[in-house]
Amino acid sequence: MKHQIPELRTVSLIRYLQPFREGGSLPALAEANDGFKYVIKFRGAGQGSKALIADFIGGIMAKYLGLNVPELVLANLDKSFGRTEPDEEIQDLLKASTGLNLGVHFLEGAVTFDPAVKEIDSLTASKIVWLDAYLTNVDRTAKNTNLLYWHYELWLIDHGASLYFHHQWQNWEKMALSPFTNIKDHVLLPYAKDLEEVNEAFPALLTDDILKEIIDMIPQDWLQESTSDNENVQQLRDVYFQFLKTRRNNTSIFYNQIINS
């Protein structure tokens, strides 16, 4: 398999279809000017752009590593987009989300994945478990798998709860070297029997150049919303890079946590 960073398109939202009223980013289904429907994660939601950044990094990285992820797009929302929305809460959310948001291609007819009903092969399970431990994704549990079954294949969605170190920037070095204890609750952990193989393959694929390329794709506006007075956008990119590089160079810390969970 040839591993490549997926191309990133920008679309403009033209029609708000329905809210999902779940998740920290208050996602909604919307139609874009390319004729497709997208699940939109809004920058104006409670967790702000940080949830979008985590979802973006996780989705792009998963796709690069060969896992199924619906296409991610940058979804531009014009300031006039929500004027006809009767719900004041939604209208406020749309007004606060003017500019670039994150769109995830809507998988029509997809169903929530249930490992008790659908089989999953050990290698795929191992890849997902390893990646979630690497990215510190706390939200792939039996209660909320963030896995869909579509066209006879497993698809990953919503990495917005990953990289939670960026909610407390001052502790990022310590958190980069911390084991991921939440992995014990991962819905696919019982099926992940090829972790040793994945732990050898994935770090070699996640080179410095690849990590930098992914991080450089993060929209400037999203990062600017995350800065404080003494930080700038490039410094934030550098922190994300150093965090991911440090965990890649010290995989034994979270790998041992996985196999001992």
Same domain flag for 100 and 125: no
Using the predicted structure, report yes or no on whether residue 132 has a pLDDT greater than 90: yes
Q: According to DSSP H, which parts of the chain are helical?
A: 48-64, 88-95, 122-134, 172-176, 195-205, 208-216, 220-224, 233-249, 251-259
Using the predicted structure, report yes or no on whether residue 84 has a pLDDT greater than 70: no
| Average pLDDT over every residue of 7-21 | 91
Q: Which domain holds residue 219?
A: 111-259
| pLDDT value of position 2 | 77
Same domain flag for 120 and 56: no
| pLDDT value of position 115 | 85
Residue listed under structure tokens 């999203």: 222
Using the predicted structure, report yes or no on whether residue 141 has a pLDDT greater than 90: yes
Using the predicted structure, report yes or no on whether residue 156 has a pLDDT greater than 70: yes
Burial 95-110 (b: 16+ CB within 10 A, else e): eebbbbbbbbbbbeeb
Same domain flag for 189 and 241: yes
Residue ending a domain, among 87, 105, 123, is 105
- pLDDT tens-digit map of 161-204: 999 999 888 889 999 999 999 999 999 999 999 999 999 999 99
Same domain flag for 162 and 36: no
Kindly report which listed range (3-17, 58-72, 76-90, 98-112) carries the lowest average pLDDT score: 76-90
Total number of domains constituting the chain: 2
Q: Hey, which of 44-48, 118-122, 214-218 has the most confident mean pLDDT?
A: 214-218
Percent of all residues in the chain with a pLDDT value above 90, rounded to a whole number: 78
Residue ending a domain, among 85, 105, 125, is 105
Q: In sequence order, what are the residues at sequence separation of 6 or more whose Cβ sits closer than 8 angstroms to the Cβ of residue 115?
A: 187, 188, 190, 191
- Rounded-to-integer distance, Cα 185 and Cα 116, Å: 16
Same domain flag for 79 and 117: no
Q: Model confidence at 258, in pLDDT bands (50, 70, 90)?
A: very high
Same domain flag for 230 and 165: yes
Kindly report which listed range (66-75, 99-108, 228-237) carries the lowest average pLDDT score: 228-237
Helix and strand totals (H; E) in the chain: 9, 8
| pLDDT value of position 104 | 98
Percent of all residues in the chain with a pLDDT value above 70, rounded to a whole number: 94
In degrees, to the nearest 5, what angle opens at C-alpha 158 toward C-alphas 169 and 72?
100
Provide the whole-model pTM: 0.94
Mean pLDDT, the chain, whole residue set: 92
- Rounded-to-integer distance, Cα 251 and Cα 241, Å: 15
Residue listed under structure tokens 């969605």: 157
Distances (CA, A) of 82 to 47, 68, 100: 20, 32, 15
